[in-house]
Chain A
Amino acid sequence: MIIKAALVGLLYWISMGRAQYFFSYAFRKPIILGVFIGLVFGDVQTGLIYGATIQLMYMGGIEAGGNIPNDLGLASCIAIPAAIINNLDPAAAIAIAVPFGVLGVLINNLRRTINSFYNTKADAFVEAGEYDKLSTFSFLLPWLTNGVLYFTPVFIATLYGPSVIQAFIQAIPTWFMNGLANAGAMLPALGFALTLVVMGKKQYIPFFVLGFFIHAISGFSMLTGAIIALCIALIVSLFKQNEEGELI
């Protein structure tokens, strides 16, 4: 069981550790993880069915700006082993998956907070001209750190089994889980606010406001948004050309 638990922990690290982003993004789909977790427990078909069932629920989640709305990796790596061991109904597997999908967002936020430490190290290495160390602190060490963060909870949960997991879920009050979900829905605001700060031009903030409310009213796709944005930008530059000398 220790080996199986370690393997599932590794699967979670591959899926959320994000080394080779495209690969890990494809790998963290419940439908793929289901097959591999099934392989670990010697029953690919069952793993596949659980994975596909969980996948159905998370069909269209977009991770805008790297903010994950739900951690599909944690949802799968906790729920599928528990379901296989206890021979659970797929609906029961989903009931386990959902709260862990929310809790996984916490791990991601913790990871991004810890990573700030590597930023300060990086500044020191740039100042000292130690560019090889800069590289090590830019990828290898953050990656190993998140390995510990991702491997540990899944390893422990799989090792102690479904009964502990269910007790854990029941011990958490509903308002707390809902509160975490609400916080997860609010936190992407920080990434957008930060981008506004970096883009820096205060006199351009009205374009942000315009984009926000036009989208809030009509809810079009991002591609439509890009077309509208480009037209507005071109019109603005047309006006600037006419008043050359004053505004440019």
Chain B
Amino acid sequence: MSQAVENTVEQKTIVTKMDLFKAWWKWNLAVEVPVSFDRMQALAFGYSLNKILRKVYKDDPEELKEAMKRHTSMFNTNCDWGSLIHGIVISLEEQRALGNENITPDMIQSLKIGLMGPLAGIGDSVDQGIVATIPLAIFVPMALNGSVIAAFIPALIYLAWSYGYSWFLINKGYKLGKNAVLEILHSGKIKKVIDIASIVGLFMIGCLSSSYVSFKTIWTFTSSSAAEVSLQSILDGMVPKLLPFTLVLGMYFYITKRGPRYLRIIVFTMIMALILTFFGII
């Protein structure tokens, strides 16, 4: 019985290779363009899936509207590694439209959110830290000697990698969604996968925050023994990177308690930074 159900699901497809190509192209085209503080790349994700969602849900306007809402909600990941998510989401939406009720909107949403953190963490550091930087280190000295070709080689390496790899990943994700994810669904492992992805994601957001948020005090004072003491060294002695940690968690609690007032947070942070700098504290 379950064999028969799987077979019918396997055979039907609505999304063609061309649809997948267009979704991939539009994602690359738009990804960082509509980025905002409150939803990050949400609209770019919706833009990429717009035509496919309209195709798979063309007989069901209510489902279509719900799907459009899902995919214009907060999303943020690395552009090429994140393509894996598009592939998986496209195939899940397709299966859902074909009548597989095991795939719930909740499940699609938590897979999306669960995967974006780990992929962003790994992707940003591999793409920008390795693929974009190491060739620069090799070729910039040649460019300084006047070689125009050397100036272009790092860019070409980066472009070949990112276009090639993201196209590979969106296809990989689509296949995964069709086969592996369905299998995992049947065995009830999906909750476990989402759990693992969430833990990895949160841990990596921690690493990223520690690495990229910088907030240090340069304030010093004279102690009783007349030696210069810097406040930062005292703080470091208690807990390393205490200030950036407090900043991230402070913003987190402000958003959860007071709601999404991003503009207020940005303006407040900038004014605070200017005042603290003016008085020589940071």
Is chain B a partner of chain A in the same complex? yes
CA distance A68 to B38 in the complex (A): 17
Question: Which of A17, A119, A180, A217 interacts with B42 by CB under 8 Å?
Answer: A119
Question: Which of B124, B136, B248 interacts with A189 by CB under 8 Å?
Answer: B248
CA distance A97 to B128 in the complex (A): 21
Quick one: which of A30-88 are within 8 Å of B by CB?
A: 31-32, 34-35, 44-45, 48-49, 51-53, 55-56, 59-67
CB distance from A231 to the nearest CB of B (A): 10
Question: Which of A23, A183, A194 interacts with B159 by CB under 8 Å?
Answer: A23
Question: Which of A64, A134, A176, A205 interacts with B50 by CB under 8 Å?
Answer: A134
How many pairs, one residue from A and one from B, have CB atoms within 8 Å of each other in the complex? 369
- On chain A, the residues within 8 Å of B211 by CB distance are 64, 215, 219, 222
Q: Is B176 an interface residue (CB 8 A)?
A: no
Closest-by-CB residue of B relative to A46 is B146
CA distance A222 to B144 in the complex (A): 31
Q: Is B180 an interface residue (CB 8 A)?
A: no
Quick one: which of A114-157 are within 8 Å of B by CB?
A: 115-116, 118-119, 122-123, 126-127, 129, 131, 134-135, 137-139, 142-143, 146
Question: Which of A32, A61, A182 interacts with B277 by CB under 8 Å?
Answer: A182
Task: Given A48-B151, A65-B124, A186-B247, verify A197-B252 contact (CB < 8 Å).
Answer: yes
Question: Which of B76, B144, B248, B270 interacts with A193 by CB under 8 Å?
Answer: B248
- On chain A, the residues within 8 Å of B72 by CB distance are 119, 122-123, 126, 134, 138
A51:B124 contact, CB within 8 angstroms? no
Q: Is A237 an interface residue (CB 8 A)?
A: yes
The listed residue with most A CB atoms (<10 A of its CB), out of B50, B69, B121, B210, is B210
Q: Is B214 an interface residue (CB 8 A)?
A: yes
Question: Which of A4-12, A162-170, A206-214 makes up part of the contact surface?
Answer: A206-214
Task: Given A189-B244, A190-B251, verify A198-B113 contact (CB < 8 Å).
Answer: yes
Quick one: which of A220-248 are within 8 Å of B by CB?
A: 220-223, 225-226, 228-230, 232-234, 236-237, 240, 248
CB distance from A75 to the nearest CB of B (A): 15
Q: Is A185 an interface residue (CB 8 A)?
A: yes
- On chain B, the residues within 8 Å of A115 by CB distance are 34-36
Q: Is A160 an interface residue (CB 8 A)?
A: no
Closest-by-CB residue of A relative to B277 is A179
Question: Which of B1-9, B90-98, B261-269 makes up part of the contact surface?
Answer: B261-269
CB distance from A119 to the nearest CB of B (A): 5
- On chain A, the residues within 8 Å of B249 by CB distance are 193
Task: Given A22-B162, A179-B273, A183-B273, verify A236-B30 contact (CB < 8 Å).
Answer: no
Question: Which of B36, B79, B278 interacts with A21 by CB under 8 Å?
Answer: B79
- On chain A, the residues within 8 Å of B116 by CB distance are 195
B207:A211 contact, CB within 8 angstroms? yes
Question: Which of B47, B143, B203, B251 interacts with A210 by CB under 8 Å?
Answer: B203
A178:B277 contact, CB within 8 angstroms? yes
Question: Which of A62, A129, A179, A240 interacts with B128 by CB under 8 Å?
Answer: A62
A211:B202 contact, CB within 8 angstroms? yes
The listed residue with most B CB atoms (<10 A of its CB), out of A34, A112, A123, is A112
CB distance from A220 to the nearest CB of B (A): 8
- On chain A, the residues within 8 Å of B210 by CB distance are 211-213, 215-216
Residue-wise, chain B 137-160 has the 8 Å CB interface mask toward A (1 for contact) of 100100110101001101110110
Question: Which of B154, B213, B274 interacts with A188 by CB under 8 Å?
Answer: B213
CB distance from A137 to the nearest CB of B (A): 7
CB distance from A186 to the nearest CB of B (A): 5
CB distance from B173 to the nearest CB of A (A): 18
Q: Is B107 an interface residue (CB 8 A)?
A: no
A179:B30 contact, CB within 8 angstroms? no
A200:B277 contact, CB within 8 angstroms? no
Q: Is A1 an interface residue (CB 8 A)?
A: no
- On chain A, the residues within 8 Å of B245 by CB distance are 209, 212-213, 216
The listed residue with most B CB atoms (<10 A of its CB), out of A56, A111, A193, is A193
Question: Which of B47, B122, B154 interacts with A139 by CB under 8 Å?
Answer: B47
A180:B274 contact, CB within 8 angstroms? yes
B33:A143 contact, CB within 8 angstroms? yes
Q: Is B61 an interface residue (CB 8 A)?
A: yes
- List the 6 closest A-B pairs by CB distance, nearest first: A211-B206, A222-B125, A183-B273, A179-B277, A193-B251, A115-B36
In the complex, 11 of the A-B residue pairs with CB atoms within 8 angstroms, ordered by the A residue number, are A19-B33, A55-B136, A55-B143, A63-B124, A138-B47, A139-B30, A139-B33, A183-B274, A187-B269, A195-B205, A233-B195
Apart from A29-B154, A191-B37, A196-B252, list 6 A-B contacts with CB within 8 A: A18-B32, A52-B140, A56-B140, A182-B273, A187-B266, A193-B251
